[in-house]
Every structure is written in C-alpha cells, then in structure tokens.
C-alpha cells in the first residue's frame, strides 16, 4: 500500500470484500479502485487470501461422540420439569440435566440405602450425607434457593436454621455456587450448599459440630460418590460429589483457602 489517501481506504475495501457495505458506499469504493492500482491490489490480496483460507483451513466439525453426548444430555433434560422457565427472585442456574442422571438409579439407590442405613451416630454419617445427596438429585429436589450470589444464598437460611452457614463463591476456581437448600442429616436440619463443576453437582453439607452428632472418617466413598469431611470454626463440613477424589479435594482446598 502506498499513498496517505489510500491508507484510509483499506478498512473500506475490506468491508466491501466482506459484503458489509451498502450500495452507495460500495459504489464509492469501486470507483476508487478503478482509479487506484494500489488499492485494487489490496482488494485482490484480500480476495485471494479469503479464498485460500476457505480452501486450506480445515473446518473442524464436532466429533460424532460429542454430538451424541450433547444430544442425549439435552434430550434427557426434556423429561425433567427442572427445565420449566420458573420465575424466581434470584438469577437462575438450574442444572436440570442432572436430574436424569439421578432418575431411576437414584430412586433405587435411595430405597436400598433407606433399608441398610444405621440409625444416626458417627459411623452412619457418610451414608447419610450420600443418601441426602442422591435424594437431592431427584427432579425438583436439588435447591430451594437458586442463586449464584452468596449474598442471596446465605441470608436465605436466616430463620430456617438455628445457625448461619458460611457461604463462599468459588467461581474463580471453577466451582461456581448454584444455590442451596435445607436438608436433614441424621435427623438434624442442615444447610446444603450446591456447587457445580462442569456437569457434576457438589453438595456441601454444613452444620454445627457440637460433638454430639459424632464424627466420621475424613474421606470415604459410597455408591460411586466421594465424600470429604472437615471441621472449622465449630462447624462440620461434608462435601459429596461424583467428582473424582482429586477434584473434590481441589474443591475442599479452595473452600478452605478462601475467606
């Protein structure tokens, strides 16, 4: 390109090549190109590059496996009433696609667990929290308050629980808060904070660790769900998810590290 006047033309020439100009502007550009060999060369260069790109640059369509995975997930969500557009005061983050994974398996698992669960006590706690998690995966059971905003979720528990659970937003670490609900573990009302990691749900159960509720092992596994437990500031925390143990541990570390 040469000539100061023509330098102003290059974006217009490009826009013309891209079909973005209205007829009057396009006519003005064409008139200029008739007079200016340099700008004509610019246009030719853009046209030939565009042709080369469309010929030589591979368009990468979605692999069959990916298409199938997405289709089945979306189709499964179609049977869940979680997909209904519900007006709630808080912004919606409703992982309705989780419900079908709960579906029949969760119901059967719940019935099985209801039969074998020991009544209360420290040793039964991993079973109880996993059962609570599985039950929550049923359609309509995951969240009472749907919000990614910790300043909405935390006060929601006021008046509903006799303690105030700490609620943290871990979106920066890849574990966004999606909401919360009341739940019961070993006969005690607890807070369940719901987090998300890709397509996985994490339930973080919180209740005051007065000692009388008992303790369980720091990490355990039930029915394909991983459980991590810790205590802090007089509260017991139980994280349950089908995430891998490593990623669940990442979640716990992130929680512990954040104010």
Partner 1 sequence: MKWRPRTGPEREAAVPVAGEFERAVLPHLDAAYNLARWLVRDGASAEDVVQDALVRALSYFGSYRGGDPRAWLLRIVRNVAYGELAAHKRGTTTSLDGVGDDDSSALQVADPAADPEAALARQEGLTQLERALAALPTELRECLVLRELEELSYKEIGHVTGAPIGTVMSRLWRARQSLARQAPTCGNEGAQA
Closer CB to partner 1, 5 or 65, in the complex: 65
Supply the minimum distance, in Å, between the C-beta of residue 176 and partner 1.
10
CB 168 within 8 A of CB 255: yes
Query: CA 63, CA 122: separation in Å to the nearest integer?
Result: 48
CB 194 within 8 A of CB 143: yes
Stretch in the footprint of partner 1 (CB under 8 A) among 126-134, 206-214, 233-241, 245-253: 126-134
Q: Give which of 224, 232, 180, 170 is closest to 203, Cα–Cα.
A: 180
Closer CB to partner 1, 32 or 135, in the complex: 135
Stretch in the footprint of partner 1 (CB under 8 A) among 26-34, 55-63, 159-167, 243-251: 55-63
Closer CB to partner 1, 171 or 230, in the complex: 171
Q: What is the DSSP string of 153-202?
A: HHHHTBTTBSS------BGGGTB-EEEEEEEEETTEEEEEEEEEETTEEE
Three-class SS state of 63: coil
Site string for partner 1, 5-34 (x = CB under 8 A): -----xx--xx--x-x--------------
Q: Does 38 bind partner 1 (CB under 8 A)?
A: no
CB neighbour class for 109 (10 Å; exposed up to 12, middle 13-18, buried from 19): buried
Q: Does 183 bind partner 1 (CB under 8 A)?
A: yes
Q: Does 48 bind partner 1 (CB under 8 A)?
A: yes
CB 202 within 8 A of CB 192: no
Site string for partner 1, 59-98 (x = CB under 8 A): xxxxx--xx-xxx-xxx-xx-xx-xxxxxx---xxxxxx-
Where on the chain is the footprint of partner 1 (CB under 8 A)?
10-11, 14-15, 18, 20, 45-46, 48-50, 52-54, 56-63, 66-67, 69-71, 73-75, 77-78, 80-81, 83-88, 92-97, 114, 117, 128, 131-132, 135, 140-141, 144, 174, 181-184, 198-199
């Amino acid at each position: 390109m040469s000539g100061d006047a023509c330098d102003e033309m290059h974006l217009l020439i490009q826009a013309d090549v891209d079909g973005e100009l209205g007829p009057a502007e396009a006519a003005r550009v064409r008139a200029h190109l008739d007079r200016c060999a340099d700008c004509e060369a610019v246009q030719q260069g853009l046209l030939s590059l565009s042709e080369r790109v469309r010929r030589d640059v591979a368009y990468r369509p979605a692999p069959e496996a990916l298409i199938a995975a997405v289709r089945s997930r979306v189709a499964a969500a179609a049977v869940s009433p979680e997909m209904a557009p519900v007006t709630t005061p808080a912004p919606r983050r409703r992982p309705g696609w989780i419900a079908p994974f709960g579906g029949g398996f969760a119901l059967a698992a719940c019935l099985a667990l209801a039969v074998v669960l020991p009544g209360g006590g420290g040793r039964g706690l991993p079973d109880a929290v996993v059962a609570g998690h599985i039950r929550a995966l049923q359609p309509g059971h995951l969240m009472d308050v749907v919000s990614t905003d910790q300043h909405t979720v935390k006060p929601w528990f006021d008046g509903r629980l006799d303690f105030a659970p700490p609620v943290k937003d871990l979106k920066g670490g890849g574990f966004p808060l999606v909401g919360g609900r009341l739940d019961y573990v070993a006969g005690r009302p607890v807070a369940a904070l719901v987090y998300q990691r890709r397509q996985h749900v994490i339930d973080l159960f919180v209740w005051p660790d007065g000692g009388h509720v008992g303790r369980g092992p720091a990490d355990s596994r039930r029915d394909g769900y991983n459980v991590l437990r810790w205590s802090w500031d007089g509260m017991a925390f139980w994280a349950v998810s089908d995430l891998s143990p490593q990623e669940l541990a990442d979640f716990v570390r992130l929680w512990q590290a954040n104010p």
